[in-house]
Amino acid sequence: MSINIPVSGASQSNEMYSLRVNGQVHEVKDAWIGESLLYVLRERLGLPGAKGACEQGECGSCTVIVDKQAVCSCLVMAADAVETEILTVEGLGPDGALTDVQSAFLSEGGVQCGFCTPGFIVAVHHLLENNPNPSDDEIRESLSGNICRCTGYGRILEAVRTVADQRRNPS
């Protein structure tokens, strides 16, 4: 990419594109073409739930779902995500209600500083949709792309077990 592409909003004529996020179409105007999906979600679309903590796909804080795949939104170019269905943590619960995964993170103590939490919540939803009955080792492996520095993962493991159990045995 040429270093001469202007990034300043006022002085350019970048093409507008649109992203479909949480079922709604958002137009992205005056954006620098090099912006990541994470940046556009957070800084342009008012969806700060996805977090940036490593910017190289190592920590999972920025996890969102793109066409049913869990991805690190820091590694996806926003302009490359047109014509996809994007789901972020803000779109999981209907009308502000907590999902079962969100409730279990609270009841089982899976939240401390909370910076990794939105990425984890999205990743756990993705895991349980694809594997409703995971073993502890499967939980650990499938969430090993999400770093948590506060909890040591013990209460998060408990939260995932709780949701899997609730879904198997709805009360």
Partner 1 sequence: MTSTISSTGQRHGTLGTSASRPDGVTKVQGGFAFSSDMWADNMLWGATLRSPHPYARVLAIDVSGAYAIDGVATVVTAADVPGKLTYGLIVQDQPVFAAIGDTVRYSGEPIAAVAADHPETCQRALAAIKVTYEVLTPVTDPEDCIAGTAAMIHPDGNIFRHQRIISGDTSIEGVIQVEGEYEIGMQDQAFLGLESALAIPDSGGQGLEMYVATQWLHEDRKQIADCLNLPEEKIRLVLGGVGGAFGAREDISLQVHTALLAMKAGRPVRISYGREESFYGHVHRHPAKIWMKHHADANGKIVKIESRMVFDGGAYCSTSPAVLINGITHTQGPYKCENAIVDGWAVRTNNPPCGAMRGFGVVQACFAHESQMEKLATAVGVSPVEIRLLNAMETGDRMITGQIMDSVAPVAQCIRETDAIPMPVPLENSADLRTIPGGTGLTAQPSNIRRGVGWGVSIKNLMYSEGFDDFSTARCRISNGVVTIKFATSEVGQGFTMLAQQIARTVLGVDEVILDTIDTQVGSAGSTSASRQTWMSGGAVQAACHAALAQLFDHVATKFEMTRSEIEIDGTDIMDRLTQRRVSVSDAISEIDIDCTEEYHHPPTEDLDKNGQGNCHVAYAFVAHRAVVDVDPELGLIKVVQIATAQDVGRVLNPLAAMGQIEGGIAQGLGLAVMEEIIVKDGKVRNPSFTDYLLPTFLDAPAVEMVFIEEHEPKSPLGAKGIGEPPCISVTPAIANAIRQAVGRELPRVPIRPYDICL
Q: Which residues bind partner 1 (CB under 8 A)?
A: 3, 6-9, 11, 32, 34, 39, 42, 47-56, 58-59, 61, 88-90, 93, 96, 98, 102, 105-106, 108-109, 111-118, 121, 135, 137, 139-141, 143-157
Least Å distance, CB 154 to partner 1, is: 4
H/E element, 20: strand 17-21
In the chain, the amino acid numbered 164 is A
Q: Which is nearer to partner 1, 58 or 165 (CB)?
A: 58
Angle at 104 between CA 171 and CA 88, to 5 degrees: 115
Q: Which residues contact 62 (CB under 8 A, 6 or more apart)?
A: 38, 50, 51, 52, 53, 72, 73, 74, 119
Q: Could you tell me the smallest distance in angstroms from the CB atom of residue 24 to partner 1?
A: 16
The amino acid sitting at 25 is V
Closer to partner 1 by Cβ: residue 96 or 170: 96
CB of 84 to partner 1, least distance (A): 20
